[in-house]
Structure 1
Amino acid sequence: MPYFESPVDGTRLHYTDHGPATGPVAVFVASAYLGHEMWEYQTLPLAEAGFRCVALDRRGHGRSDDTWSGYDLDTLADDLHGLLDHLDLDEVTLVGHSVGTAEVVRCVTRHGTARVHRVALVAGVCPGIVRCPNLPEGVDPEAIRADEELFRRDRPAYYTLLADDFFAVQFPDNAVSPAYVGHLIDLCLAAGPRASTGVRAVVADLDIADELPGLDLPVLVVHGTHDASAPLALTGERAARLVPDGTLKVYDRAGHGLFATHADRLTADLRQFIEAGAVRRTAEFAGAGAGAR
């Protein structure tokens, strides 16, 4: 299995790398509690279509080492950039879901765009959801603390209780099988309590509204109208307004788990976005060559 060492502290981190080595590159960062497996409905068809799809298991998640420390946003972003360096990837499209969008944004604002040329924020929690000076209409911090108590008391019950809202199954088109829900809960439980609470703390403290205007690259924002975990008005719509070159695609009746309920649509939108970057880069190189002549 492919592993690399975190540039921060040597933590052994797992990743998958599928598809042709010469294809356009997309690097996927998962939601809190989940690893690379959550992206199967995107990475498999994209890899089969000729894209190189790399997916990271953040520390404490999936098959990566379970560490006590390193769950601050800077370290998680450095881990992600370490993967890009390890594989010597260029012209990358970074794709993040939920808290993974914050890692993607911080990776770019902290390390620049030498390796990254596009960013996709899928059902993201960024710029932040909790009430703060930049977001006076945000979620009450007391509600976040109560949610944390429930989570710590019984993680299996917590995941089970919130599954319907996660997928917005009140809409028949969003139905997911009990087997799939159980599978996803098992993957969530594979992330230990320290890693899970560490990443939750990132969300509780998240306020990166000031970083988004510095994303000097194309940004695709995909969000559902019924995302109970990251309400559209607080997250996706704000993010799309704050970035200089953003495109917002809103999925009607989609919840936080749109990577499963709207898998085909998300995969098609990501493919179009990644391909647009490849075409743009080809045109830029052609123009540079013509100028040299």
Structure 2
Amino acid sequence: MGYYVYVEPKVKIYVEDVNPEGNNTILFIHGWPANHNLFEYQFNQLPRMGYRCIGIDIRGFGNSDKPWSEYDYDRLADDVRCVVESLKLQDFTLAGHSVGGAIAIRYMARHSGYGVSKLALFAAAAPSFTKRPNFPYGLPKEEVTKLIQETYIDRPKMLQGFGDIFFFQNTTSPFSDWFFQLGLQAAGWSTAALATSLRDESLFSDLSKICVPTLILHGIHDKVCPFSLAIVQNKGIKNSKLVPFKYSGHGLFWEERDKFNMELAQFIEK
């Protein structure tokens, strides 16, 4: 079931609601530069186990509206709050991948975890996606700036190159094409704007504000959000559990999907 939620008078967010009658709700926030279809291999299986899976397309991506501006973490967290209130969600698991994980963390801090009973972070871009003077982890800022520049020059080429480092395991050519098409569904300006937020924003003060049980799933071969970020998250978030994925890069939800789905389900059932 797909529908739209207004988050501003002229901005609608697309929502995919799979198994609305499920007993436990998981709200998924996708990573850059894709959309909710990134979680296809969760939506295929978790509803069979009784879960309600809700995927949203971040503004500027997928089927959502693509305004020219406002792609900072605060605005994106506020969009999530609008969806939560519109759907009247309570006692749900908030789950975010990559920048979706960053948005989930900002939601927890900015909105005091409104409605959330558990948090799940998948290869999250936190507490900083880029290296800083007192933070030696993450990507060099210059690399992200290059991605932004390439977005404006040749976005298909940029997306293809990003796809090449996304997965640790080999992918088939059709699968690579599918992943490539997810990125093309975004607008060029929103792709660049969200990459700018990834480069410049941070969540150091947000981690300590998380007060719900938190699951951290992260591939040890991740070239986009290095595994060291997961270690920092685990140390900074109370009552968090870190599960390394030994055969995954940034796309652990596909590369080790059976383990991924099992770990997420077990965490929710506890």
TM-score over 0.5 for the alignment? yes
Report the CA distance between 1:159 and its aligned residue.
1.9
Report the CA distance between 1:19 and its aligned residue.
1.3
In structure 2, the CA distance between the partners of 1:154 and 1:55, relative to structure 1 (3 Å rule), is same
Matched residues in 2 for 1:225 and 1:53: separation?
26
Structure 1 position 3 matched with structure 2 position 27:
no
Matched residues in 1 for 2:206 and 2:134: separation?
12
Quote the residue 1:66 is aligned against. 66
Matched residues in 1 for 2:153 and 2:98: separation?
23
TM-score normalised by the chain length of structure 1: 0.87
Quote the residue 2:88 is aligned against. 88
Structure 1 position 199 matched with structure 2 position 194:
yes
1:180-191 to structure 2, matched below 5 A, reads: 180-191=175-186
Q: Does the CA-based 8 Å contact 2:30-2:100 persist in structure 1?
A: yes
Equivalent of 1:248, from 229, 235, 242? 242
Report the CA distance between 1:149 and its aligned residue.
2.2
Quote the residue 1:229 is aligned against. 224
Report the CA distance between 1:22 and its aligned residue.
4.7
Matched residues in 1 for 2:138 and 2:20: separation?
43
In structure 2, the CA distance between the partners of 1:248 and 1:137, relative to structure 1 (3 Å rule), is closer
Which letter maps to 2:157? A
- Runs of at least 4 residues of structure 1 off by over 6 A? none
- Bigger drift between 252-261 and 90-99 goes to 252-261
Quote the residue 1:210 is aligned against. 205
Q: Does the CA-based 8 Å contact 1:134-1:207 persist in structure 2?
A: no
Quote the residue 1:165 is aligned against. 165
Post-superposition CA distance 1:157-178 (Å, at most 9, x none) = 122223232111xxxxx22211
Matched residues in 2 for 1:101 and 1:33: separation?
13
Matched residues in 2 for 1:196 and 1:116: separation?
28
Report the CA distance between 1:274 and its aligned residue.
1.4
Matched residues in 1 for 2:106 and 2:146: separation?
28
Matched residues in 1 for 2:22 and 2:224: separation?
36
Matched residues in 2 for 1:263 and 1:57: separation?
21
Which letter maps to 1:68? W
Quote the residue 2:116 is aligned against. 116
Matched residues in 1 for 2:57 and 2:120: separation?
18
Which letter maps to 2:180? I
Instruction: Please list every run of 5 or more consecutive structure 2 residues that lacks an aligned counterpart in the other structure.
Output: none
Post-superposition CA distance 1:60-110 (Å, at most 9, x none) = 111111111221111100001111100101011011000000110111111
Matched residues in 2 for 1:128 and 1:166: separation?
18
Quote the residue 1:18 is aligned against. 18
Which letter maps to 2:187? G
1:129-144 to structure 2, matched below 5 A, reads: 129-144=129-144
Q: Does the CA-based 8 Å contact 2:247-2:256 persist in structure 1?
A: no
Which letter maps to 1:99? V
Q: Does the CA-based 8 Å contact 1:134-1:209 persist in structure 2?
A: no
Specify the SS of the correspondent of 1:82: helix
In structure 2, the CA distance between the partners of 1:144 and 1:187, relative to structure 1 (3 Å rule), is closer
Report the CA distance between 1:138 and its aligned residue.
4.7
Which letter maps to 1:188? G
Post-superposition CA distance 1:112-159 (Å, at most 9, x none) = 134001111101111113122441455332333233323332111122
Percent identity reads 30
Q: Does the CA-based 8 Å contact 1:62-1:190 persist in structure 2?
A: yes
Matched residues in 2 for 1:185 and 1:70: separation?
25
Structure 1 position 275 matched with structure 2 position 269:
yes
Matched residues in 1 for 2:137 and 2:261: separation?
32
Post-superposition CA distance 1:26-62 (Å, at most 9, x none) = 0000011211111010122111211111110111111
In structure 2, the CA distance between the partners of 1:135 and 1:51, relative to structure 1 (3 Å rule), is same
Which letter maps to 1:207? S
Cα RMSD of the aligned pairs, angstroms, is: 1.5
